[in-house]
Structure 1
Amino acid sequence: MDIQTYNPSEVTFPESVTKVLIVNNALPQPADVGYEYTLMGTKQDTCRALADSALFDACRSLGKSIVEADYFDDVLLYHYATRNDSIYYSDVKLLPEQIVSLCEETGTGAVISFDRLLFNMEKDVFAFPEGYLMGNIKVEIGGVVRCYLPGRSNPLATVFINDSIFWNESADNLSILKYVLPDANTALRTAGQYIGAKVYINFVPHWVNESRWYYNGMGSRWKEAAAYTSGQKWNYAVERWNSIYKNAKDWKGQAKSASNLALCYEMEGKLEVAQEWATKSYDLFKKNVGDDNSNTKLLKIYVGALQDRIRSDKKLNMQFGED
């Protein structure tokens, strides 16, 4: 079954920070840098790709994702240049006096800045003997995002970006392929939007999709308990799985029902209790079938996941100013 877990951000802001400013402190790479286009085995020497809009899209996408997380009171996007050099590949931090000026100008308490963002795009179009064309685009994204607070000489946090995005399409001819594959500028802009929407998790609490499972068994009691579990009626499911665990005639019934109890308690938010039951299940599997058994390995992962959730909850409480 699929579940969503709420996770803390990597960066913890002071409670006083209720508004943040997104800044583009990166310089766009030249149009003739970082783009290689191969057409039917021949590299094209006239290809160009503009990265200016991609940088802005990355900032806007980051700001939009942070807004949707509903953690800060307000998120602003700074529209003016912050650098006066021309070395596009350099990683340049914002100066402490710049941070103070930006925060005073915008009424924000922190700055999140793209200090470097570079793209490397490879496009390859080739023909198959069957008579159709294939087009591939790969955009590699590398950069640095930092978080700054006024009054600090060093950044609050630094996030290094290293990711990629792909396109793969086929068509009967080049004219049709141009419609289904993005052009160079659009590909860069999409890459910027992608990385902004992905890096946001470092700065705000966020939801993550995860998978869980529960064991089925023969007999009316197992089917009844499974029905309550699949219907997410956790209090009834706990009662049934507890009964099955206590009355199990072999270790395997105990191990499976203990794992199911761990799931039910996790869904009720009782993570410490869930960890205890998952550990019981893991110990039973390990004792009876060994470390290499798939169930033992699965329960070991689950115990670790619950331990991570317990630690995450403590960090979440701190980020939301709760005890």
Structure 2
Amino acid sequence: MAKSCSLICISLIVLTLSGCQTIEQLSIDYMQPAEITFPAQLRKVAVVNNTSVVPDNNLLPETEQKEDDINKIRRATAYSYGDSKLAVEALAEEIANQNYFDEVVICDSALRALDILPRENTLSPNEVNRLTNSLGVDLLISLENLQIQATKTISYQSEYGVFRGVVDVKTYPTIKVYLPERSTPMVTIIPKDSIFWERYGSTEKEVLNRLISDTQIVKEASTFAGISPVKQLIPYWRTEDRFLYTGGSVNMRDAAIYVREDSWDNAYELWKKTYDESKGNKKKMRAALNIALYYEMKDNLPEAENWARKAQEYAQKIEKLDKVDERNFNFNKIPNFILITKYLVELTERNSQIQKLNMQMQRFNNDF
């Protein structure tokens, strides 16, 4: 919810500033570190299925729940152990697509096919050594358990005169990483995630017919559950919005043209000239923020953070933060400060993670 509120606030601020034709939005891609750091010498990995075989992995009988909301006609929740074979295949494919390891081997046959009851059972050191030797790999990434919770809701949207059906699915895969010669797993992760589908219709029956089937829910959710842990295992690319001041002077407008032509060095020269020669705080603030973005594009995060702080200081002066009444706070009166502060927070977070990312990318000589 906090992230949604932040996005709404930023959108309103951008609309406020862009109404004066002083700001433009662009997207950048940068790499984020994974939660887990693997030693660089671990080059070959096997993805294995260490779940119990479940005879019936369909959604278990639904349990109806009483709704207090008069617009909600019905709501039911069902559970499933999912399709572990699909999850393991998706996990292995997604890891291979990242090109992080030299080799990715898949063993999607259940290692515990003889289990009578579904249960988690950690691989023993002997089993780990046997599997890594037979598969010719350095480590195992194992799916240990998979649970799916699906909630189906049918409601009537009185303002539009239509029925709405939603299937909200939560996935709970358990992943363990094993290394040879270790007595316990290197790490265990349970990356909870969710996916949903919605359909509309003129009648309740029409909506039910249009909604995704239970069989397809299990298939799609199992595949999704296999993909979701990868960001915790392997560094990944992330896309974020950035904002650029483009008005206020000829130099700022010309620099914006250079940016559109991907000539960042030329744009920087104009921004630096504007910053050095301007006496007004507003021009210095705009130039400083743009220079911060320039250094981020050059992967010089400490310098980017330094310039963003300068921009924030000018924004504080311009929008008189020291005189803001907290009891009657209105973010529309401090749009530059909010925009710059949000950017500074993101830069600070990136800067704090760079050492971890460099460790994870040592296998590529930090060429990323």
CA contact (8 A) 2:51 2:144 kept: yes
Which residue, out of 264, 274, 284, partners 2:314? 284
Counterpart of 1:6?
Answer: 31
CA distance in 2, matches of 1:188, 1:42: 21
Q: 2:233 is matched by which residue type in structure 1?
A: F
Which residue, out of 206, 209, 218, partners 2:239? 209
Which residue, out of 339, 355, 361, partners 1:314? 355
Aligned Cα root-mean-square deviation (Å): 3.0
CA contact (8 A) 2:45 2:104 kept: yes
Which residue, out of 211, 217, 222, partners 1:181? 211
Counterpart of 1:165?
Answer: 195
Query: CA 1:273/1:49 → structure 2, altered by over 3 Å: closer, same or farther?
Result: closer
Secondary structure of the 1:243 match is: helix
Counterpart of 1:226?
Answer: 256
Whether 1:109 aligns to 2:138 is: yes
Q: CA deviation at 1:244?
A: 0.6
Whether 1:154 aligns to 2:184 is: yes
Which residue, out of 49, 54, 62, partners 1:36? 62
CA distance in 1, matches of 2:61, 2:286: 54
Spell out the pairing of 1:224-303 with structure 2 (5 A cutoff): 224-288=254-318, 289-290=320-321, 293-303=334-344
Which residue, out of 111, 114, 119, partners 1:82? 111
Q: CA deviation at 1:171?
A: 3.3
What are structure 1's unaligned runs of at least 5 residues?
none
Which residue, out of 9, 26, 46, partners 2:51? 26
Counterpart of 2:222?
Answer: 192
Q: 2:95 is matched by which residue type in structure 1?
A: I
Q: CA deviation at 1:304?
A: 2.8
TM value normalised by structure 2: 0.77
Q: CA deviation at 1:277?
A: 0.9
Report how many residues are paired.
Answer: 319
Q: 1:159 is matched by which residue type in structure 2?
A: I
Q: CA deviation at 1:215?
A: 1.3
Secondary structure of the 2:41 match is: coil
Which residue, out of 340, 346, 355, partners 1:305? 346
Secondary structure of the 2:108 match is: coil
CA contact (8 A) 1:35 1:122 kept: no
Which residue, out of 147, 156, 170, partners 1:140? 170
Query: CA 1:43/1:318 → structure 2, altered by over 3 Å: closer, same or farther?
Result: closer
CA distance in 1, matches of 2:153, 2:260: 47
Secondary structure of the 1:167 match is: strand
CA distance in 2, matches of 1:245, 1:35: 66
Which residue, out of 14, 17, 33, partners 2:42? 17
CA contact (8 A) 1:234 1:268 kept: no
CA contact (8 A) 1:38 1:124 kept: no
- Listed one character per residue, the Cα deviations across residues 141-182 of structure 1 (whole Å, up to 9, x for unaligned) are 123212111111222222122222111112356886566322
Q: 1:2 is matched by which residue type in structure 2?
A: S
Q: 2:232 is matched by which residue type in structure 1?
A: N
Q: CA deviation at 1:29?
A: 8.2
What are structure 2's unaligned runs of at least 5 residues?
1-25, 66-71, 325-333
CA distance in 2, matches of 1:48, 1:121: 5
Query: CA 1:217/1:191 → structure 2, altered by over 3 Å: closer, same or farther?
Result: same
Stretch deviating more after TM superposition (3-12 or 311-320): 311-320
Query: CA 1:294/1:95 → structure 2, altered by over 3 Å: closer, same or farther?
Result: farther
Counterpart of 2:128?
Answer: 99
Query: CA 1:188/1:252 → structure 2, altered by over 3 Å: closer, same or farther?
Result: same
Q: 2:115 is matched by which residue type in structure 1?
A: D
Q: 1:59 is matched by which residue type in structure 2?
A: V
Q: CA deviation at 1:93?
A: 2.2
Secondary structure of the 2:244 match is: coil
CA contact (8 A) 1:49 1:184 kept: no
Counterpart of 2:152?
Answer: 123
Task: Give percent identity, aligned residues only.
Answer: 28
Q: CA deviation at 1:305?
A: 2.0
CA distance in 2, matches of 1:51, 1:58: 11
Q: CA deviation at 1:57?
A: 1.7
TM value normalised by structure 1: 0.86
Query: CA 1:38/1:314 → structure 2, altered by over 3 Å: closer, same or farther?
Result: same
Counterpart of 2:95?
Answer: 66
CA distance in 1, matches of 2:60, 2:336: 47
